[in-house]
Amino acid sequence: MVRELNARAAGDVRSWQSASPRAWQRMRLLIAFVLRRLAHAALTLFAAATLIFAATSLLPGNIAATILGQSATPSAVQSLEHELALDRPLAQRYGDWLGALLHGDAGRSFTTRTPVMQSVLPRLANTLLLAGAAAALALPLALAAGVAAALNRDGLLDRALLALMRVSVALPEFFTGYLLILLFAVAHAWLPSSAANFGADGPARENLAALALPCATLALAVIGHMASMIRAALIDVLAQPYIEMARLKGLGTARIVWRHALPCAVAPIANIVALNLAWLTVGAVVVETIFVWPGLGQYMVDSVSKRDIPAVQACGIAFAAIYAGLNLAADLVAMLFDPRLRPHR
């Protein structure tokens, strides 16, 4: 008995020793993959920062003269250019700006002379709140519509949902926003037409009312696209032989969809959701302008009109960072659910 136990323990040790190198090999490959994706995201962000700086620095016209107005004297314009470091060479300004940005300093506003990050961070939080609320509303509806359309392919329900999806994609945000204002703010006065009073210190009920119309406008803009892409991904998966085998075994439709089809469709769906979430954040510029939402998009529009270059650059970097981060998250989620996307050697 003792010999048998010792032999079994020795066999377990040998099997663990043989399996351990393979586990470490997979772990090293996974870590290398994540580090490569992080490097790609950082490189993308660096390229975006370079393009943003170049585009804003090479704009025609004299920024100092625009800030001071038409009555400014040449000496006043020259003095302001020196104060704002606009008289330095472009390469030097780029190096100083990039170095400060790596330390979390986006510079000072040309109009208020205060650090740009003091204005960007709270407005970025409001934009992320709006985009997150819109995503929380749009994603379940798009998933339900996509699954229902895929399961009833070419049926009456599928055709009706496809028609609604196309209408949702075709309608621009400004049209949907003004239509919702007309219906819910002007005709019935149920909700406010402006979200200018939204704030952390305001009553929760008023904040939710101010959030409702911008959130619905953003959600309606992406539901159709997400639902149609989810439908296409599920139709492709449902046509696979293993799904047919599951049907022949008598598995229910709900179990086939949620246990077998959706996990295999996570990779394309994750990319679809990431692109639409990025659009929700970046595309909120139009919606924030319509509803006077105190977010980053509204701040960027105001800064462009005032030629406040550091503020515009900071907003562009924030949007680029969100886009790169969401793409990275989509790749990691897809790899987590789909073993075929994991690194192998």
pLDDT in tens, 76-94: 777 777 777 777 788 888 8
Looking at residue 200, its pLDDT comes to: 62
List the CATH code of the domain at 116-341.
1.10.3720.10
Looking at residue 244, its pLDDT comes to: 73
Looking at residue 171, its pLDDT comes to: 82
Looking at residue 22, its pLDDT comes to: 66
Kindly report, residue by residue over 266-287, the tens digit of the pLDDT.
767 777 777 777 777 777 778 8
Would residue 36 be called left, alpha or beta, if left means φ above 0 and alpha means ψ between -120 and 50 degrees?
alpha
147: its two tokens: 């699954």
Rounded CA gap, 281 and 132, in Å? Answer: 9
Looking at residue 9, its pLDDT comes to: 47
Rounded CA gap, 27 and 21, in Å? Answer: 10
User: Residues 332, 18: contact at Cβ < 8 Å?
Assistant: no
Looking at residue 343, its pLDDT comes to: 58
Q: Is 341 exposed, middle or buried (0-12, 13-18, 19+ CB in 10 A)?
A: middle
Rounded CA gap, 211 and 215, in Å? Answer: 6
In 249-308, which ranges are continuous DSSP H helix? 253-255, 262-264, 266-282, 284-291, 296-305
Closest C-alpha among 307, 92, 285, 90 to residue 174: 285
Given a cut of 70, the residues of the chain with pLDDT beneath it are 1-23, 25-26, 29, 61-62, 65-72, 200-202, 260, 264, 267, 334, 337-345
pTM above 0.85, yes or no: no
Looking at residue 69, its pLDDT comes to: 67
Looking at residue 151, its pLDDT comes to: 82
Whose tokens are 């296409």? That residue is: 232
Rounded CA gap, 106 and 317, in Å? Answer: 9
Looking at residue 39, its pLDDT comes to: 86
